[in-house]
Amino acid sequence: MFLFVQQWEIIKGKGGEYTDFVLRKHLPVMEKVGLNVIGGFHVIVGSGPRVSVVALAHDFLNLQNALESDEFMAVTHELHDYVYNYSNAVLKGTGRVPMSEYGIEVGTWRFNQYYKLVQGTEKEYTDFLNNEYIPRLMNLGVRIKAEWQVIVGSGPRILLEGVTPSLMDIAKAIMTDEFRMLRRQMLSEFASNYSSRIMAPTGRVEIAFLLGEMTKAL
């Protein structure tokens, strides 16, 4: 399973035109070429471009064909009329976190953690992740949805994707002594170049998804 992540900033004064373009053209073209858009997010806390759009592909060949299609290249070129600081990345599931039901979750927030694994600690890290980190984060209210490895793109190589119903749930979790202790252990034994981002749903992808579901029901 692969993720294709696009990030950008919206040009000031073009918010309305941008929203119309995304709903009317960008999302439909992504779907047409085989990129299943499952989330759109605003970065509330953390560095990098403010907007992220996430698409799912089940194999690399389909993803490659989609990105090389004339339709995708044309709509991405047109997207630049409304955005700047554009970048993208391709990520692959690591296999350490089960993702059989991975898909869109309407209205959920993300607490994403990014880091580089210390070489030679993979086995111990996997044990820590599954037996300590993920269960204890779940007890704090953060459900780990997936773990990804960046295979094309810059930045830390691992993305650990956490999900909560609201910003308050993230705030409550990360302000606890237990989370600070878990993160300290992660950094001292397994990870470097750590950073995190809190991301809110934009609503645009969810609107398109709900409209699609309503159309199917007619």
**Rounded Cα gap, residues 77 and 99, in angstroms:** 32
* Domains located in the chain, CATH noted: 2-93 (3.30.70.100), 109-200 (3.30.70.100)
Q: Which residues pair with 159 in a beta bridge?
A: 114, 148
pLDDT of residue 173: 97
Asked whether 37 and 66 are in contact (CB, 8 A), the reply is no
- List CB contacts of 180: < 8 A, sequence separation 6 or more: none
**Rounded Cα gap, residues 20 and 26, in angstroms:** 9
Pairing between β-strand 36-45 and β-strand 83-93 as defined by DSSP bridges: unpaired
pLDDT of residue 207: 45
pLDDT of residue 204: 56
pTM exceeds cut of 0.85: yes
pLDDT along the chain (218 residues), means of 10: 94 93 93 91 90 92 95 97 96 90 83 96 97 97 96 88 95 97 97 95 56 40
pLDDT of residue 116: 96
Apex 183 CA angle, 179 and 188, nearest 5: 150
Asked whether 109 and 56 are in contact (CB, 8 A), the reply is no
pLDDT of residue 60: 93
